Amino acid sequence: MENIVKGDLFQNFLSSLDTAANMISCDPNVLTRLRQPRRVIMVSVPVRMEDYSVKVFTGYRVQYNATLGPYKGGMRYHQDVDASEVAGLAALMTFKNSLLNLPLGGAKGGVKVDPNLLSRTEKQNLTRRLTTELGPFIGPTKDIPAPDMGTDAQTMAWMMDTYSQESGFAQPGVVTGKPIEIGGSLGRNSSTGHGVIYITEQVCSRMDWKMSDTSIAIQGYGNVGSHAAHKATEFGCKVEAVSDVSGGIYRKGGLNIADVDKWIEENKTLAGYPEADSISNEELLELDVDILAPCALDGVINKSNMKKIKAKAVVEGANGPTTNEATEYLHENGIICVPDILANGGGVVVSYFEWVQDIGNYFWDEEAVNVNMKKVMTKAFSQVWDFAQERKVDMRTAAMAVATRRLERAMLLRGLYPR
């Protein structure tokens, strides 16, 4: 595993884990085990291309820890995918699922490929052969993939179909994030963005801030950011700024989100939106708002701009938007930072609900999905908030500590077999 642990993402994870483990006096044998993945699967994936040639891509699935239940985590198609990155992401899934009290372990997978260079047929061929190669290791009781960067509901439909064809019967529970027609869950699409706002509601309630007096800036107006903006508006928050890859828009007192959607539908990006001021993505992060929700990229709040952040709370919709150094700075300066493994957990919670519905063959209405997701998120938030207050630490450290404690207890109860 020597090469696996070398990557930045994995090293960052190890440093957070060590701090959290030290804080809860974690059993040293458990910690040693938690510092490395259980299994790293690497496969060659031959794919028939449009010109009838065959290209061979490299695929990975890292199954990090299955103490709490079947492995669960996304499947990423990106040109920068490597074993170390996938292992780091698999580790984070393990701790996210533990923190959210889900009966799931952690995994992640990926293929080193630029999905934009593949035709639809090539992407389908790649996905089906990848599923066949991973066949012995995945399944509704073993390991349940989901969409991630470069993959979507259609990719999951191909995975589900391939696995089902090879089993001889429909197996919707093998993946989550599927289209509704083949066993997907209502509310899955909006779940991460809505979860970000449920967490914001919890912050406001603990701080005695009124949601309807609260202003919010959201970086990113994709799946997470746009659903967060809608939910925030429902709560009466003033969504003063949003952005996408083309830049940001700002209107003191709040944007009309329905109007912004209409603009995007007609123009594809936010650029040129006439009812607000244009700002850059960097300026958006430094706005004088109550809540800042980075919902696009990692590393955007860092050494270079951490001193300019004016928001009272940062709620991380994206994965890893705040560096460790910036987290520390914000905490020391009284800015609350709710970490990604908590704030963007709504997606995996509803993925879990999708799996429950698939294996139970009984589907819920959207209200049941939302009410139950909110319950899970609120409980996890309380545990993290209380730990952070009691131990006077930042919420990222608190979240890792709560997640590590649950894993430690479960691992000690199950014991080591064979010895």
108 is catalytic: yes
CB-nearer residue toward ligand NAD: 21 or 249: 249
Q: Provide the minimum distance between the beta carbon of 363 and ligand NAD in the complex, in angstroms, as a whole number.
A: 20
H/E segment holding residue 78: strand 71-78
Binding mask 231-270 for ligand NAD (x = CB under 6 A): ------------xxx-------------------------
Which position among 72, 96, 108, 112 bears the catalytic label?
Answer: 108
Q: Is the peptide bond before 418 cis (omega within 30 degrees of 0)?
A: yes
Does residue 217 interact with ligand NAD by CB under 6 A? no
Does residue 222 interact with ligand NAD by CB under 6 A? yes
User: How many residues lie near ligand NAD (CB under 6 A)?
Assistant: 19
- Encode 294-328 in three state secondary structure: ECCCCCCECCCCHHHCCCCEEECCCCCCECHHHHH
Binding mask 276-315 for ligand NAD (x = CB under 6 A): -----x-------------xxx------------------
CB-nearer residue toward ligand NAD: 18 or 282: 282
The CA–CA distances, whole Å, from 97 to 53, 204, 241, 291, 386 equal: 41, 24, 31, 25, 19
- Give the other-Cβ count within 10 Å of 177's Cβ: 26
Does residue 344 interact with ligand NAD by CB under 6 A? yes
CB-nearer residue toward ligand NAD: 295 or 330: 295
Determine contact, residues 88/10, Cβ cutoff 8 Å: yes
Burial class (CB in 10 A: 0-12, 13-18, 19+), 58: middle
Among 192, 202, 233, 327, binds ligand NAD (CB under 6 A): 192
Determine contact, residues 220/294, Cβ cutoff 8 Å: yes
Does residue 17 interact with ligand NAD by CB under 6 A? no
CB-nearer residue toward ligand NAD: 37 or 347: 347
* β-sheet bridge partners, residue 77: 111
Q: Provide the minimum distance between the beta carbon of 296 and ligand NAD in the complex, in angstroms, as a whole number.
A: 3
Among residue numbers 346 through 375, which ones bind ligand NAD (CB under 6 A)? 347
Give the residue nearest to ligand NAD (CB): 222
Does residue 145 interact with ligand NAD by CB under 6 A? no
Among 98, 202, 215, 223, binds ligand NAD (CB under 6 A): 223
H-type alpha helices, 66-190: 83-99, 120-134, 153-167
Burial class (CB in 10 A: 0-12, 13-18, 19+), 43: middle
Q: Provide the minimum distance between the beta carbon of 194 and ligand NAD in the complex, in angstroms, as a whole number.
A: 10
Helix (H, G, I), strand (E, B) or coil at 45: strand
Among 237, 318, 369, 380, binds ligand NAD (CB under 6 A): 318
H-type alpha helices, 109-256: 120-134, 153-167, 191-207, 223-234
- Where do contacts with ligand NAD occur on this chain (CB under 6 A)? 192, 220-225, 243-245, 281, 295-297, 317-319, 344, 347
The residues assigned a catalytic role are 108
